[in-house]
Structure 1
Amino acid sequence: MSKPTMVFIPGAWHTPEPFKVIIAKLSILGYKCIPLSLLAAGHEPAVLDLQPDIDIVHRTVQDEVDQGHLVVVVAHSWGGIVAGGALDGLSKTEREKSGRKGGVVKLAYMCAFIPPEGVSLAKALGGEDPEWDVQEPWVNWKNPIDGFYHDLPAEEGKYWKSKLARHSYATFHAAAPSAAWRIIPSRYLICEDDRAIKPEIQEIMVQNCRGLGAEMETERVFCSHSPFLAKPDETVGFLRRATGEEA
C-alpha cells in the first residue's frame, strides 16, 4: 500500500523553505511531500482574511484525494488555524460515506494553534499583540531569532531570520469557519523549549480540543518553535508515526 501524501502548511512569516530538510528525509523514505506557500506571508497587496490561504490548502488537498490518495496535513504554528478551516468534506471518513476513495487521514500539528471555529489568533491570545511589531497592513515578530530559532547555531538563526516575510496583520484577527480536528484524528508535537507558543499553552489547546471531543494524540520534544530545523530526525519520526508507520 502506498504511503500517504504529506501536505505542509507553514506558520506566520514563514515560507515553506524551512521544511526542506525534513522533506528530503521523508522523500527518501517514499513519502510524497507538498510544501505550500501561503499568501498571508509577503503577498502584495496584503490579504485581508484567511480565505485565500484556506482555498489554496483546500484545492491542493482535494487534488490529491480526488486521485484516491490518502493525505496527512502537517501544520506549523499559525498554519494550524488555516488547516482547520481548509478541509471541509475532505476527510477519509466523509468521503467513504459517499463511496469515494482517498481522503485526509490525519492532522499533524507542530506547536500549532488549534482554536475552535470562529476564534482568531488574536482572540486565542486574549486580544493582545505579544511580541508583534505592527505596521499595518503588516506585522512582524520583534525578535525572531529568540522566538523561533534560539537553539540553532547563531549563523543558522540569522539565515532563517533573513528568509522571513512580513505577514498580513488582518489574518491574525480573522477566524476559520471550521475546525478540522473535530472530525479528523490528530497528532500534536509539543515543543517543550518553545518561546513563541509556550508549551503550557500548547498543552491547554490540546486539552481544550479533547474536551470538545477531538481525537488528539501528543508527543513531546525539547526544542524551540522550529522542530523541523532544531530536531529534524525527531520531527520526521513524529510525522511517520502520524501516518501509522512505526518509527
Structure 2
Amino acid sequence: MSQSLPTIVFFAGAFSDPSCFDALSGYLQKVGYPTTYAYVQFLNPSDPTSIETAKDAEDARNKFLIPLLDEGQDVIIFVHSYGGVVGGQAAAGLSKSSREGQSRGVVGLVYLVGNIVCEGESLLQAVGGAYPPFIKEHYPSQGLAVIDPVMDTLYGDVAPEMVPKMEAAMIPHALAAFETPATAPTWADSTFHGRRAYIRLLMMNAIHSSCKTSG
C-alpha cells in the first residue's frame, strides 16, 4: 500500500478569508494532496485589542495542526503574506525530529510571498515601523483595518476571472496582530534545510521587492 501524501494546511494572509485558496486547493486535491484551511482569530474579531500574533499562532497550532498529526497525517504548511507570521510560529517544534516518539510531523514549509519575522519582532517592526498607505487604519472601527486597493496591492498576478471571488473574500483585520511580537519561527529550524520554499509574485505589491529577495 502506497504511503499517503502530506496534508497541506493553508494560512491565508492579512484581510483574507482562506477561501482565496479554493482554486489552488482544488488543483492539489486532484493530484492526491489532502488540504485544509487554518482559520485564525485576527480576522474581524469582536475585540481587536485582545489579539496577539503569538496567541493566534498557538490557537491555530492547537486547533488545526496538532489534531492532524495526532490523526497520523504529515503536514506541509503553505502560507501567503501575513499568514507566514502566524503559520511560521504555529508549526514551531512540530517537525518529526522535534516530536520524539511520534511518527508524524510538519515536513515542509511553502511561503507564497509570505512575511518572515524573527523571534521577538512584530511585523510592523519588520517593515520599518510605519503602516503603508494601502492599509486603512481604524476602519471600519477602532482597532481594525482594511486594505485598499485590494487587487493592485495583493493579487496583481491573479487571473481576471478570479477578481470577484478574491475581492469578496476580504475581511477587516486586527491591527494588534501586526504590532505584537512573534515567537520563534519554524523557518529558522535547521530541520527544514531543503524542505522550505519561497515563491515570489512579481505583481504582489504588499511586500516590497527587496523583502522578497534572499540576502
Tell me the TM-score normalised to structure 2 length.
0.87
Partner in structure 2 of residue 171 of structure 1: 177
Q: How does 1:28-43 map to 2 (within 5 A)?
A: 28-43=30-45
Superposed CA offset, 1:165-193 (max 9, x none): 11001111012111111114211101122
Contact 2:41 2:51 in 1 (8 A): no
- Structure 2 gap ranges (5+): none
Partner in structure 2 of residue 113 of structure 1: 115
Partner in structure 2 of residue 58 of structure 1: 61
Query: 1:93 deviation in Å?
Result: 1.6
Contact 1:85 1:117 in 2 (8 A): no
Q: Does 1:74 align with 2:84?
A: no
Partner in structure 1 of residue 200 of structure 2: 190
Q: Which has the higher contact order (CA 8 A, sep 6+)?
A: 2
Contact 1:193 1:199 in 2 (8 A): no
More off after superposition, 82-91 vs 20-29: 82-91
Q: Does 1:145 align with 2:151?
A: yes
- How large is the RMSD of aligned CA atoms in angstroms? 1.7
Query: 1:55 deviation in Å?
Result: 2.4
More off after superposition, 146-155 vs 85-94: 146-155
Query: 1:2 deviation in Å?
Result: 1.0
Q: Distance in 1 between matches of 2:67 and 2:165?
A: 34
Query: 1:159 deviation in Å?
Result: 4.1
List 4+ stretches of structure 1 deviating above 6 A. Answer: none
Query: 1:153 deviation in Å?
Result: 5.5
Partner in structure 2 of residue 6 of structure 1: 8
Query: 1:51 deviation in Å?
Result: 3.5
2:52 corresponds to which of 49, 53, 71: 49
Q: Does 1:94 align with 2:91?
A: no
Instruction: Assess, with a 3 A threshold, how the Cα gap between structure 1 residues 154 and 103 changes in structure 2: closer, same or farther.
Output: closer
Q: Which amino acid aligns with 2:145?
A: V
Instruction: Assess, with a 3 A threshold, how the Cα gap between structure 1 residues 116 and 51 changes in structure 2: closer, same or farther.
Output: closer
Instruction: Assess, with a 3 A threshold, how the Cα gap between structure 1 residues 151 and 191 changes in structure 2: closer, same or farther.
Output: closer
**Percent identity, aligned pairs only?**
27
Contact 2:54 2:181 in 1 (8 A): no
Query: 1:152 deviation in Å?
Result: 4.0
- Structure 1 gap ranges (5+): 208-247
Superposed CA offset, 1:99-123 (max 9, x none): 2110001111000111111111100
Q: Distance in 2 between matches of 1:168 and 1:48?
A: 7
SS at 2:199 equivalent:
strand
Query: 1:66 deviation in Å?
Result: 2.0
Q: Distance in 2 between matches of 1:162 and 1:33?
A: 22
Query: 1:154 deviation in Å?
Result: 5.4
Superposed CA offset, 1:113-169 (max 9, x none): 111111111000110110211013111113112112334465643442232111001
Contact 2:93 2:186 in 1 (8 A): no
